Chains A and B, each alone.
Chain A
């Protein structure tokens, strides 16, 4: 996995980033805005994939990490008046800390128990947000005021509500996370993660402390998801409890399964696919979820390992 064709893999990833950059100049307004959102959510998917795809741990509670970033950043702006970079870091820190605590507790379990435990913690997190409605806005959520969403460097300032700035910020975050993911996956640590997924007992008998390795993976995954949430709050200006609901724990799982678990670009492909199927289908009928359902079934039948996963299996074995 890691020694073969590094140049090809990096070229492909840089090519995807360049393509997304170029699209900014040709896309009509609507798709431009949608793609910015998709890129931020693809970061969420990549964070999820880190744990699900590479370590094989299926969490049903990743909404809490996304929401930790979302609220961490949003509340820091709204209540503490922090500037954008600080708020972004606050969101990431909240997610990392939460992931560390959840990881320490949830990793005592595996398999179905792990799914249930993570889901329960996420439910607790969701209810806590509703309970402290005075600060969090409860189920109404909060709007991050537009004047606060400005990135200043000395004299120059970038208005994050401007579509181009927003798109480029989303692209920057996406690119950084994509390249970090690629580097992790291709590293020795990535090899250990895959080994844990394939056979944890055997990995222990090769001298690896699998608990620590899994804990690091949970923290990395949670931190990436929190970065996505923090960026979402700052770029789109809304902080709401629906992002902490169970639906937002299932969505990244769906995106990753569609795009291809344990593929670096699967998160992006899955998110784009899902958004556009919904977008196109809802243009024709109000029963668009039916069409989405059929599309999902077809995909499972013909691309059981997700779009990229199946492409890798059949044609391009070198895909990371």
Chain B
């Protein structure tokens, strides 16, 4: 099977800091992949390179067989790479409905399909449990609901690859359970790349885990393999004296 996403020797420097340092990475279609690592390991930079929010210093990104390294972000989104932000950045002054209508209407080519926008928006809102709040300004939603709205916007893009950057950050435990269900549901139709700090969530969801440290991939494997990996334990807990 051909990987959906491949990066070859991907690197990004910020001044003298090598935030992402020669990463070779592969993602298979249909996977749920978690990316973990200590703070500053380069996880967010890595997914920002994939989504096109920042340009790599060197290396190559291949999505579905095509080299997308020099493509601007909006074209990558149109090819099916959706990114939900770590810091919630919904359009606070627009209603939840309008927030989701933006991605929905872009995926529709038929300009007359007024009904189709409404159907698409309500479907995404219902999937995330926000349908009854459609007409509230997004800024007035609770934090947890704003996170869900982010996911709804990502979903509405009908992505082939959905990148979730710390989706459960700031959610209450009760909300996290629902969230895990939602992610499983999404994974039926999209490949998922998930940056996450919450280990129980990672262990429950991920098919495979990639561990970043200091801009490089430290380890990769199934949740069991990663749990047993001594290098990973050292990276998180510090080297034993």
Contact B98 A1, beta carbon cutoff 8 Å? yes
Closest to A208 in B: B74
B91 adjacent to A208 (CB under 8 Å): no
For B64-98 the 0/1 string (1 means CB < 8 A from A) is: 00000000111001100011010001111111011
Q: Residue A31 at the B interface, CB < 8 A?
A: no
A195: Cβ under 8 A from any B Cβ: yes
Q: Would you list 27 pairs from A and B whose C-beta atoms are within 8 A, ordered by A residue?
A: A2-B98, A2-B101, A3-B118, A188-B101, A188-B111, A188-B117, A195-B102, A198-B91, A198-B92, A201-B89, A202-B85, A202-B90, A203-B102, A204-B72, A205-B51, A205-B73, A205-B74, A205-B77, A205-B83, A206-B153, A206-B157, A207-B74, A207-B78, A207-B103, A207-B107, A208-B74, A209-B74
Instruction: Check B8 for interface membership: any CB of A closer than 8 A.
Output: no
Decide: A199 and B118 in contact? CB cutoff 8 A. no
Residues of B within 8 A of A161 (CB): none
| B106 interface residue per 8 A CB criterion | yes
Whether B53 is near chain A, meaning CB under 8 Å from some CB there, is yes
CB-CB contacts of A245-281 with B at 8 A, as 1s and 0s?
0000000000000000000000000000000000000
- Indicate whether A191 reaches chain B with its CB closer than 8 angstroms: yes
Q: How far is the CB of A316 from chain B (nearest CB, A)?
A: 16
Q: Pick the contact of B53 from A205, A207, A209, A210 — CB < 8 Å?
A: A205
Which positions in B face A, CB cutoff 8 Å?
51, 53, 72-74, 77-78, 82-83, 85, 89-95, 97-98, 101-103, 105-107, 111, 117-118, 135, 153, 157
- Give the Cβ gap from B148 to chain A, nearest Cβ, in Å: 16
CB pair A202–B89 under 8 Å, yes or no, is yes
Q: Please report the C-alpha to C-alpha distance between residue A171 and residue B89 in the assembled complex, in whole angstroms.
A: 42
Q: Are A191 and B102 in contact (CB under 8 A)?
A: yes
Cα–Cα, bound, A210→B75 (Å): 11
Determine the chain A residues whose CB is within 8 A of the CB of B53 once the complex forms.
201, 205
* Interface check A119, CB cutoff 8 A: no
Closest chain-B Cβ to A100's Cβ sits at a distance in Å of: 21
Least distance between B164 CB and chain A CB atoms (Å)? 13
Q: How far is the CB of A190 from chain B (nearest CB, A)?
A: 10
Min CB–CB distance A215 → chain B (angstroms): 14
Docked complex Cα distance between A206 and B81 (Å): 10
In this complex, what residue of A is CB-closest to B79? A207
In the complex with contacts A208-B106, A209-B74, A199-B91 CB distance below 8 A: yes
Given contacts A201-B53, A205-B73, A205-B85, 10 further A-B contacts (CB under 8 A): A2-B101, A188-B105, A191-B105, A204-B73, A205-B51, A207-B74, A207-B103, A207-B106, A207-B107, A209-B74
Q: List B contacts of A201 (CB < 8 A).
A: 53, 89
Instruction: Kindly list chain B residues whose C-beta atoms are within 8 Å of the C-beta of A3.
Output: 97, 118
Chain A residue contacts of B82, Cβ below 8 A: 205
- Across-interface contacts of A203 in B (CB, < 8 A): 102
A192 an interface residue at 8 Å Cβ cutoff? yes
Choice from A2, A4, A198, A210 contacting B74 with Cβ under 8 Å: A210
A89 interface residue per 8 A CB criterion:
no
Asked if A194 lies at the interface with its beta carbon under 8 angstroms from chain B, I say yes
Query: Is there an interface contact between B95 and A206, defined as CB atoms closer than 8 Å?
Result: no
Residues of chain A lying within 8 A (CB to CB) of residue B73: 204-205
A204 with B74: CB separation less than 8 A: yes
- Report the Cα distance A155→B91, complex, angstroms: 56
Specify the chain A residue showing the minimal Cβ separation from B101.
A191
Which 8 residue pairs of A and B lie closest in terms of their CB atoms, listed nearest first?
Answer: A207-B77, A198-B91, A188-B105, A206-B103, A207-B78, A202-B89, A207-B106, A204-B74
